[in-house]
């Protein structure tokens, strides 16, 4: 097992036991994340849905299938990236997670980011974007890169995308998402060159 894989396993085990998020009362289980601890790209969605809650794996429903298709379009597989959510437990009826719930899961996410130390963080949808980039509209920031410094994460590179679930039911968003997605490989190369 690589050092990062081992560290991630430990962090997830710690938070499964200690996370104070009130969503855990109704959720079946935690959905910590999935993929490679050595990934260069970390995708962050909003919250687990019904299927994810049942199986403990993020993005395995229809939005996840669409995400896998888009990954394939840039020659990546799920195993090449890491994917997680802002909150690690399913909100009842898939409602939006509250600020308190997001805050309760924040350190878990911060620990994951620190271990994986991705070159690029891709936010999926409005909630994930607003967690890091305040006061912006997803319609203005999708397909754009932000260098954000925060006290707990340091300076990180974020790329904002529409949420695949929203794009499934809206042709305009779907085309925008596919187009934005295709820019990921060149963006990654550009960032790596700068380093």
Among 33, 49, 91, 118, binds ligand URA (CB under 6 A): 49
Burial 120-147 (b: 16+ CB within 10 A, else e): bbbbbbbbbbbbbbeeeebeebbbeebe
The one segment of 1-9, 15-23, 43-51, 152-160 that binds ligand URA by CB under 6 A: 43-51
Shortest Å, Cβ 173 to ligand URA? 15
Pair 48, 89: CB distance under 8 Å: yes
CB-nearer residue toward ligand URA: 47 or 109? 47
- Helix ranges (H only) for 144-183 are 164-168, 171-182
The one segment of 48-56, 99-107, 115-123, 151-159 that binds ligand URA by CB under 6 A: 48-56
Task: Please state, as a whole number, how many other Cβ atoms lie within 10 Å of the Cβ of residue 115.
Answer: 21
3-state secondary structure of 132: helix
Shortest Å, Cβ 82 to ligand URA? 13
If one asks whether residue 34 binds ligand URA (CB under 6 A), the answer comes out as no
Number of residues that bind ligand URA (CB under 6 A): 11
Q: What length is written for the chain?
A: 195
Could you list the residues that contact ligand URA (CB under 6 A)?
45-49, 52, 58-59, 63, 85, 165
């Amino acid at each position: 097992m690589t050092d990062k894989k081992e560290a991630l396993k430990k962090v997830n085990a710690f938070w499964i036991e200690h996370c104070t998020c009130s969503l855990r009362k109704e959720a079946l289980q935690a959905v910590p994340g999935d993929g490679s601890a050595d990934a260069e790209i970390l995708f962050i969605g909003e919250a687990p849905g019904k299927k994810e809650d049942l199986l403990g794996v993020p993005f395995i429903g229809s939005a996840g299938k669409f995400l896998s298709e888009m990954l394939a379009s840039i020659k990546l597989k799920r195993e090449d990236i890491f994917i997680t959510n802002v909150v690690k437990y399913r909100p009842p009826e898939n409602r939006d997670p509250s600020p308190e719930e997001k805050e309760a899961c924040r350190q878990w996410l911060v620990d994951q980011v620190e271990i994986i130390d991705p070159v690029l963080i891709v936010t999926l949808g409005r909630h994930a974007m607003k967690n890091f980039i305040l006061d912006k509209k997803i319609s203005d920031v999708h397909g754009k890169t932000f260098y954000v410094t925060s006290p707990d994460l340091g300076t990180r590179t974020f790329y904002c995308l529409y949420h695949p679930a929203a794009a499934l039911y809206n042709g305009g968003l779907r085309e925008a998402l596919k187009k934005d997605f295709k820019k990921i490989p060149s963006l990654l190369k550009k960032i790596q060159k700068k380093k």
